[in-house]
Amino acid sequence: MEEIRDTKVSEGAPVSRRVRISDLADALGLTKSTVSRALNNYSDIAPETRRRVAEMAAKMGYAPMPYAQAVRTGRVRALGLVLEIDAPDRYGPFLAEFLGGITQEASLEGWTLTVASSSSREEMEATVTRLLQEHKVDGFILPRTRVADHRVDFLRAKHVPFVLYGRTGYGGPEHGLSWFDVDGGQAMRAAVLRLAGLGHRRIGFVGYAEEYNFALLRRDGYREGLAEAGLPLDPSLERLGVINRADGMRATEELLDLPDPPTAIVFSTDMTALGAYDAARARGITIGRDLSVIGYDGIPDGRMIDPPLTSFAVDSRQAGERLAALLIAQLRGAPAENLRELVEARLQPGGSDGPPVTT
């Protein structure tokens, strides 16, 4: 019983009839159960049949409806992302790139991204619970990892797959977490070595809130760089808890007011490094000559300012892409402990660092 069901005839029609799996089955002279198993790579389907089904599916433009599959399988091919709305620096300019990366990669694999937001821990848990209860997502991407992250505990307790943007303080591989990260520590180390190579001997460090794991990793990188360059570690040259541009200006002033001030400062974020420009202007000194500055993130503002900020650029789009890929792999059954990636930040030289002025 062939039924030539012609689809999408007149484009003027409101909606052309979708191709369903039963249409495919009819066209092939098979039952829909066989077609379903063929499409899902069951082993009890003859290779030749599998090929015919795949061919006809492509020809007829068949695409399964995710929610109809979900009724049985419980999986909807959707990634979840919970934004923390009241985070200190509000994600800055990275968010668009990051989202673009996730959605592009997800789209390639036929997945989608569902975004939610929360402004407190309770709300986050309620939101996640609802998304899971309604089966709106299959797994989560967690940005802005903290040293001790309650989200990790929460999702593990619920046995929900997830990937982290950034490592936690939970320790090594034994915890079976899946993550992607940019090696900020390595970048800080390279920044120190670069400055030391230029002749600087007193190099300061301005870091982020130590609640976030990356802040600690970057500080450690700074210390490693000092050690490697054979420079002493002076605690008075380290500042933590510096979040925004105004903080960065204050921290810079404090460092410059020291009895034996640094001639160069490494900032763990560009936003705070811009504060150094404000401080320099306020006291009439020149960035890149009187004070060398290196930042991290590669924000657009850093390239606009004069002199352009030397920085280690993070590719947020790449981060989004890889996180999506890692989560999808995990949802397809890959063991989480194999899904880890660490990439390096890219040095983006500007004019904010140079040899120290010799007095």
Q: Which residues on neighbouring strands pair with residue 180, listed in sequence order?
A: 165, 341
What is the C-alpha separation between 78 and 139, in angstroms, rounded?
A: 7
Token pair belonging to 174:
């034994």
Q: Is 135 in the site for its own copies (CB under 8 A)?
A: yes
**14-32 burial, b for 16+ CB within 10 Å, e for fewer?**
eeeeebebebbbbbbebee
Q: Can residue 54 be called a binding residue for DNA (CB under 7 A)?
A: no
Using alpha carbons, list the distances in angstroms from residue 194 to 222, 244, 311, 348.
12, 25, 12, 12
Sole binder of DNA in the list 44, 122, 174, 260 (CB under 7 A): 44
Considering beta carbons, is residue 25 or 81 the nearer one to DNA? 25
Site string for its own copies, 146-175 (x = CB under 8 A): -----------xxx----------------
Contact pick of 88, 92, 307, 351 for its own copies (by CB under 8 A): 92
Return the one option of its own copies, DNA, none that residue 51 interacts with (CB less than 5 to 8 A, by type): none
Smallest gap, in angstroms, from Cβ of residue 212 to its own copies?
Answer: 17
Assess 337 for contact with its own copies (CB under 8 A).
Answer: no
Identify the CA nearest to 192 among candidates 343, 294, 308.
Answer: 294
Residue 21 interacts with DNA (CB under 7 A): yes or no: yes
**Binder to its own copies among 29, 31, 59, 71 (CB under 8 A)?**
71
In whole angstroms, what is the distance from residue 349 CA to residue 259 CA?
Answer: 30
Residues 63, 108, 258, 342: which binds its own copies (CB under 8 A)? 63
Q: Does 95 bind its own copies (CB under 8 A)?
A: yes
Stretches 27-35, 67-75, 189-197, 225-233: which one binds its own copies (CB under 8 A)?
67-75
CB of 3 to DNA, least distance (A): 7
Q: Among candidates 258, 239, 257, 259, which has minimal Cα distance to 248?
A: 239
Alpha-carbon distances, residue 359 vs 6, 155, 290, 351, 356 (angstroms)? 85, 57, 11, 21, 9
Among 117, 120, 236, 338, binds its own copies (CB under 8 A): 117
Site size for DNA (CB under 7 A): 27
Write the CA distances from 247 to 64, 239, 274, integer angstroms: 53, 10, 10
Q: Is 39 in the site for DNA (CB under 7 A)?
A: yes
Beta-sheet pairing, 310-313 with 346-348: antiparallel
How far is 286 from 288, CA to CA, in rounded Å? 6
Contacting positions for its own copies (CB under 8 A): 1-7, 9, 12, 14-15, 18, 40-44, 63, 65-68, 70-71, 76, 78, 83, 85, 90-93, 95-97, 99-100, 103-104, 107, 112-117, 119, 127, 130-131, 133-136, 157-159, 244-246, 300-301, 304, 332-333
